Structure 1
Amino acid sequence: MVFSEVADRVWVARHEWYDVNVSVVAGDRGLVVVDTHGSAAAGRRVLDDVRRLGAGEVVAVVNTHAHFDHAFGNIAFREADPGVPIHAHEDAVASLSATSPADTAATWASGADDPRREEVLATEVVLPDHTFSSATVLDLGDRVLELVHPGPAHTAGDLVVLVPDAQVLLAGDLVEESGPPALGADSFPMQWPLSLDIVLGLTTGASTVVPGHGAVVDRDFVEVQRNELGIVAETIRDLAGRGVPVDEALATGEWPWDPRHLETAVRRGYEQLPRSQKRLPLI
C-alpha cells in the first residue's frame, strides 16, 4: 500500500482490509510507525512499504489501542528489530494480553474459508513494552510526538498522537471517517464525547486529523462526530432517567445513526450510568 504524505514528513497508508490507516512520522532520529495492521503477514507488508519510503529506520512503534487490526502486526517489527520499543497505553496492554488470535478470527471472520483467517491464526501477539497512564513524549531530535490518553472512549486504552510542528493529530479509532464510530463491547459511550473534547483541545482549525479508518479529516469533522456521540450519550441518559427499559431504548430514542449500529452502545451506556441517574422501568 502506497503511503501518502499528509503533512511535513507524516505519511498515511489507507489499507483495504478494514479500511484501516497506518501512519509514519519521521524525524532526525528515525521513523515512528503508528499502528501495524491486523496480522503478522499484514505487518510485514506494512514494514516493506515503510522501507520503500526510504525515509529512515524505524525507531519506535505505537499502538493507538488494543484491537487486532491496529496491533497484530507488531510481530513484524520485532522480527526486523528485536529491540524496537512498542508504545501503548497501559490499559491497552492489559486488553491485548487477553486477546488470542483464535478468538479474534472467530469473532470477525466471515467463515472458515475467509482468506484472512489463516493470517490471523498464524500471528503471534506481541505486547507493547513501553506504557504510560496519561501522557508521554517521543523525542525524534528535531521534533517531538506527544502521546495522550484522553480517557476511555472506543476502548479503555485509547491514545492519540500529536505532531505539534506539523499540526497533525493521529486519532486512532477515537475518530472514524468510513462509518459511524465503532461502539463495541469494550467501548465507553457515556465518556467518549468527553474524551473527544480533550482531543479537540489538541487541535486547531488548521489541523489535519488522521482517523483510525477512512479518509483524512479536519477539526470540523471531529467536532461533528463529537456532537453526534454526545447525542447518543444524552439520549441514553434521558431514556434511563425516565425509566425506559434498556430493551425498549432503541425503539424509543431518536438517534443520529441507524439504531442497529447502537444496540451494544445502549446496553453499555445503561450499564455505565450511575444508579442515581436511572429510574425503575416504567410500568
Structure 2
Amino acid sequence: MGFEEIADRVWVSRRAWCDVNVTVVRGERGLVVVDTHGSLASGRALVDDVRALGRGEVVAVVTTHDHYDHAFGTGAFLEAWGPLPVHAHETAAALLTEAARRGTGDYRGEHAAEVHATEVVVPDHVFSSAAVLDLGDRALELVHPGRGHTAGDLVVRVPDADVLLAGDLVEEAPPAGAGDGAVPAYGADSFPLEWPWSLDVVLSLTTARSVVVPGHGSPVDRDFVEVQRNEIGLVATEIRDLVARGVPEAEALATGSWPYPAATLTDAVARGYSQLPRTPRRLPLV
C-alpha cells in the first residue's frame, strides 16, 4: 500500500480497502494529495505513507468527488499539516456539506466503525468548470468535464508529466460482485446518459502517451479510456432505445443488449429511465 512513482514526481498508492487509488504530486512548493481514502483512520495510515516518501510537506488536498472512499480521510491531513486548502468541484462540496450535516451513522459497509468515527471535511476551495493549482515549477489543472459517475466529478491533469488523474470517471477494477473485467461503477447518483460526453472531454485532455490513473485499479492508457467510453456510450444508447420503444423499466435489463453484466447496471437503468421522458406505445403505421 505504499507509493509507486508512475511519472516524474507523481506517485500512486493503491489502497487495499475499496481498491482505491490515492495520488501524490510534487512541485517546488510542496505536495498535493489527490483523494484521501475512506475514513479518518485510513487517512492517518495514508499520512504515514506520504511522510515515508520523504518528498516534502503536503500543501493542498484535491477531492475528485464526494464518495466516502475518496473523501473521508481528509481530516487526517488537516491534523498532520494544519488548515490545508481542500479543492473540489462546487457540486461535490455541496454534497459533502450535506454528508457532514447528516453524519455517517447510516453507513453499513466495510470498516463501518471507522467511518462512523469520521467527521466529514467540507472542501473550502471550489470551482465550477476549471481551476489551476500553482506549484511553482509545475501546474495542476482541475477540470470538471461534466456529470458521469457523480454530479461533481473532477479530473486532475499534470501537463508536464502527461498524467491524468481521472477519479471514478474511469475504472480499471470491477466493483464488488461484478466478476472479472473493468466495469464502471454506476450508482444511484450517477448520470449514465451524460457519462459518455464527459469522457469525451477527458479524452481531449490526453495524448497517445498519457498515463491515466483511474479511481480504482491499475493505471491505464488512452486506448483503455477510449474503449470504456465507447462501452459506456453503448449503455446510454441502449437505455435511450429501450425507452423509445416503450420497454418497461422492469424489463429493461433482461431485454437490452449490454456491454457489461446486467447485474452491474441496475442503477444505470433506473437513473437513465428517470432522466428520459417516456414515449407512449403507438400502433405501427402501414
Same fold (TM over 0.5): yes
Residue aligned with 1:265, SS: helix
Contact 1:243/1:282 (8 A) holds in 2: no
- Change in 2 beyond 3 A, CA 1:29/1:240: same
Shift of 1:280: 2.0
Aligned equivalent of 1:210: 213
- Measure, in 2, the Cα distance between the counterparts of 1:147 and 1:67: 18
- Measure, in 2, the Cα distance between the counterparts of 1:140 and 1:131: 18
Aligned equivalent of 1:26: 26
Q: CA RMSD in A?
A: 1.1
Residue aligned with 1:59, SS: strand
State TM-score, norm by structure 2. Answer: 0.93
Aligned equivalent of 1:149: 144
- Measure, in 2, the Cα distance between the counterparts of 1:252 and 1:178: 26
Shift of 1:78: 1.1
Residue aligned with 1:249, SS: helix
Aligned equivalent of 1:256: 259
2:14 equivalent to 1:14: yes
2:141 equivalent to 1:138: no
- Measure, in 2, the Cα distance between the counterparts of 1:74 and 1:125: 8
Residue aligned with 2:105, SS: helix
- Letter of the structure 2 residue corresponding to residue 57 of structure 1: E
- Change in 2 beyond 3 A, CA 1:282/1:97: farther
Shift of 1:36: 0.1
Aligned equivalent of 1:237: 240
- Measure, in 1, the Cα distance between the counterparts of 2:104 and 2:33: 22
2:157 equivalent to 1:162: yes
Aligned equivalent of 1:67: 67
Give the number of equivalent residue pairs: 272
Shift of 1:281: 5.1
Matches of residues 72-83 of structure 1 in structure 2 within 5 Å? 72-83=72-83
- Measure, in 1, the Cα distance between the counterparts of 2:26 and 2:224: 26
- Measure, in 1, the Cα distance between the counterparts of 2:40 and 2:128: 27
- Which runs of 5 or more structure 1 residues have no equivalent in the other structure? 110-115
**For 1:241-272, what per-residue CA distance to the aligned partner results, in whole angstroms no more than 9, with x for missing partners?**
11111111111100001101101110100111
Please point out which of 181, 196, 200 is paired with 2:199: 196
Contact 1:150/1:195 (8 A) holds in 2: yes
- Measure, in 2, the Cα distance between the counterparts of 1:233 and 1:171: 20
Shift of 1:282: 7.5
Please point out which of 222, 225, 237 is paired with 1:222: 225
2:269 equivalent to 1:266: yes
State TM-score, norm by structure 1. Answer: 0.94
Residue aligned with 1:146, SS: strand
Residue aligned with 2:201, SS: helix
- Letter of the structure 1 residue corresponding to residue 118 of structure 2: T
Shift of 1:97: 1.6
Larger mean Cα displacement after TM superposition, 2-11 or 76-85: 76-85
- Measure, in 2, the Cα distance between the counterparts of 1:210 and 1:156: 20
- Measure, in 1, the Cα distance between the counterparts of 2:87 and 2:208: 28
Shift of 1:93: 0.8
**For 1:49-73, what per-residue CA distance to the aligned partner results, in whole angstroms no more than 9, with x for missing partners?**
0011011100000000000000000
**For 1:188-210, what per-residue CA distance to the aligned partner results, in whole angstroms no more than 9, with x for missing partners?**
00000000000000001100000
Aligned equivalent of 1:113: none
